[in-house]
Chains A and B, each alone.
Chain A
Amino acid sequence: MDLGTRKILDRSFTAVGITSILLMAAALLVVIVPIFTGGIGAIFFKGTVEHRKLQYNEFGKGDLAVIRQQTEETDIYRNKVYAMLDAFESEMELMEPTEKKKYRSQYTKVRKVLAHLFGPLPGDMEPILLRYQYGTTRWEKAEEALHDLMFVSKWDYSNPDEMAKQYFVPRSDEFAGTALAALFPYMENSLEKMLLPEMTFYWGFITERSLDAHIFGGIWAEIQGTFFLAAGAMLFAFPLGVIAAIYFTEYAKDNIFTSILRSANSTLAGVPSIVFGLFGLAFFINTVKVSESKSVLAGSLTLAIMVLPTIIRAAEEAILAVPKTYKEASLSLGSTKWRTIMTVILPAALPGIITGGIISLGRAAGETAPIIFTAAVSVGATIGIADVLNSPTPALSWNIYNLASEHEAASEIRHVQYGMVLALISIVLLLNLSAILLRARISKKLKG
């Protein structure tokens, strides 16, 4: 090979490396950016008058006078819609049965969309579920519903080689010549006046409980559950981990027994998280019976076992990073080994140990698999601190899964799911960031 080729190879080698780093960064952005923008949408959005009514009725927030006045304003426009419905219904009464049948299903669909937009229509039964008692609370959902109202979606199967294509036909064509024909242009022009959207900063998404299985309301119960589980796990794992680390760094002799213990530690670190869940179910719930069934306690214990190896490793590293001179100085002053550890080594290593603890806290907060069988329920009330021993809790990580893939209206409440993911990621990343900053400060300090 001549020098030119070697140079080209060298440069391309560098290029490949840098490309791979850029690819990773790009992928990170592709994941984070949509989650971030979607999550912001859960808190900051165009809320309709229905949102303000809901907030006042369920949480007692907002100004009653303003809401009354807005309700009156919107009712003027809405009543025209209701009048059109009445006119069409009396027109239908006079129709031939076959003609009536033709309009029936389309008309039912129109009523359904209108009820979705405005809440129960005059003449409807008072709905039992909260989700049907209010109209659309978010403006972008109202726009989707308006599209549903304006157009009938149809599928084009004409080309057998390709997947069927969706296309839209104006719904007003179906009602041409009837009293309802005027509804569609009217709705399109005055939807805004019927719902009065305005920019809303919905802080309650974080601090309020959920209503009707997360159709409305916030995610406080989940945040609190996540906090209980993670804090509980640390309560068990942190002291155990630190003590074990002291043993490994200061007392353990270099023999087979120690290497078995170390092996066990790394084995535990490698166990798949779902297996921890199985173990928690089989041991804590079915064998030891720490609680009747799922509980925060059982979940915390399972999570504690999972994060234990991480804490031990971090604490070991922190203790080993303390300069040997500290220890020697203390020993030469005549203090015992135990006293040296407690008064000299541990205080010096404490920031590092806490860093490890914070990272483990983040990991415990984010894990889902271990709590599926041991602690998590999908829909539940906020639990008090006294209930942690025997009652399960909703948690962010589990409810993200549950709302995204098992909720009956999963595609209706994407904004709640995004909000939850953003909340979870923010909690975990903020914990990690603070750990990283703390560690940077320590290394500066140790360097002097």
Chain B
Amino acid sequence: MADTVSGSGTKSNAFVLTPEKLRRQRIAKFLGEGFLLVVASFVAIVVLFIFYFVAVDAIPFFRQRGFAEFFTSTNWYPADEPGEFGALAIIYGSGMVTIGSALVAVPLGISAAICLSDVLPFSVRQYAKPVIEMLAAIPSVAFGFFALVIFAPLLQNYGGPILMWAWWLIAGPFVLLAVIVASDLLTSGSGDESRRKSLRIVITAVLGTVAVLFLYWVGKTLNAIQILSGTNALNVSLILSFMALPTIVSVSEDSLQAVGRELREGSYALGATRAETLVRTVLPAASSGILAAVILGIMRAIGETMVVWMASGNSSHIPEPWFNYLDSIRTLTATIAGDMGEADQVTGSARYHVLFAMGLLLLVFSFISNLVSERIVVRQRKILAGE
């Protein structure tokens, strides 16, 4: 500050903007911002490069072999001479484990998210969030190792009993709950209180017996199942669902939180219970965010490599019958990872390029689902903001 006012009262020119200085500042600003812009657009350039370089190596395959074989044939014999490159069974396998994992992860993830955001007290939530984050951080190869070395032998040796216990533990409470609710609903119409009570007990007993018999019958059927190989679609689907859960839970929880207190309090004020508030008011408002969460979770499952490579059995056929989750399958990601070792010595062969074609397929799928989920989130934000 000392030299701003020099001895004889004349102003120094430190703070005076001469045209020269102004120009220099403008140039510096322009260059600086340009540099930032270039670095920031680096991401976009990388995305373009990824598309370009994967496509460049994928196109020769389609040029050589056309599209029909790749998408419609199930004969995958890339090592033969001439090779056959029908990827239908592999695409089917990818779809199968993705759907299987979604069937487990979506209901579980959404109910966990609801529980975290609206049911549990804040103090519990504080600790649950980091745990979920840690779960998301466990490397996929560790899950693959678990699936291959620990879970697959268990499934192979005790497959039937495991399925039966899972059925009892998961379906049992739900079915019994359904019985209680159904009998309550059936008797809600009649007037007399004491008659109603006895009627309810009778109906509950009848329905309960039927339900227990049903549970027992299904459990017995499951118990008799013998699993020939522990490395199958069921194993992979379960592990993948577990890997998709953290994404689904945390994104849907964010979207449930975004709904805000006003809607909830409005619903409570009208006399709704917590369940009714959540199902009728909060879930519809958050539905698009939850959909985005599901899409993100599914993307994690379809793009996962190590688990499916290690524990899916890697046999490229469509299971018989088509929904048989106890059969081995093969997926796109596992094929890319597994076949590149044999293919990359002979760069230029169809065997090398077909793997890039599969990569392109995955890339396009992830791109589309990403765009869709992004759109959905933006729309929800706009709706909640009241536009």
Contacts and interface: CB of A to CB of B under 8 A. Distances in A.
Partners in one complex: yes
Interface of A: 1-2, 4-10, 12-21, 23-25, 27-28, 31, 34-35, 162-163, 240, 243-244, 246-248, 251-252, 260-261, 263-279, 281-283, 286-287, 305, 308-309, 312, 338, 359, 362-363, 365-369, 372-373, 397-398, 400-401, 404-405, 414, 417, 421, 424-425, 428-429, 431-433, 436
Given A247-B36, A267-B370, A362-B137, 6 more contacts: A18-B115, A31-B242, A243-B40, A251-B36, A278-B356, A417-B149
A229 to B, nearest CB: 13
Nearest to A279: B50
Contacts of A9: 181, 273, 275-276
Nearest to A429: B134
B188 to A, nearest CB: 5
A368 B143 CA distance: 12
Nearest to A5: B184
Nearest to B56: A282
B145 A417 contact: yes
Contacts of B141: 366, 368, 397-398, 400-401, 421, 424
13 contacts: A17-B111, A20-B112, A243-B40, A247-B39, A265-B43, A268-B47, A272-B366, A276-B50, A277-B337, A279-B49, A308-B46, A359-B137, A414-B149
Contacts of A275: 50, 54, 303, 359, 362-363, 366
B291 to A, nearest CB: 15
Given A265-B43, A372-B340, A425 B138 contact: yes
Report which residue of A12, A28, A278, A373 has the largest number of chain B beta carbons within 10 angstroms of its beta carbon.
A278
Q: Is the interface of B mostly helix, strand, loop or mixed?
A: helix
Nearest to A6: B273
Contacts of A162: 226
Contacts, number: 270
Contacts of B274: 10, 13-14
Among A1, A5, A34, the most chain B Cβ lie within 10 Å of the Cβ of A5
A425 B146 CA distance: 12
Interface stretch (B2-10, B79-87, B304-312, B322-330): B304-312
Interface of B: 29, 32-33, 36-37, 39-44, 46-47, 49-50, 53-54, 56-57, 107-109, 111-112, 114-116, 119-120, 128, 130-131, 133-135, 137-146, 148-150, 173-174, 177, 180-181, 184-185, 188, 226, 242, 245, 249, 273-276, 278-279, 296, 299, 302-306, 309-310, 333, 336-337, 340, 344, 347, 355-356, 359, 362-363, 366-367, 369-371, 374
A5 B188 contact: yes
B149 A2 contact: no
A-B residue pairs, 5 tightest by C-beta: A272-B303, A366-B139, A17-B115, A13-B275, A264-B44
Provide the main secondary structure of the chain A interface. Answer: helix
Nearest to B124: A21
Given A23-B108, A282-B56, A432-B134, A272 B363 contact: yes
Nearest to A271: B366
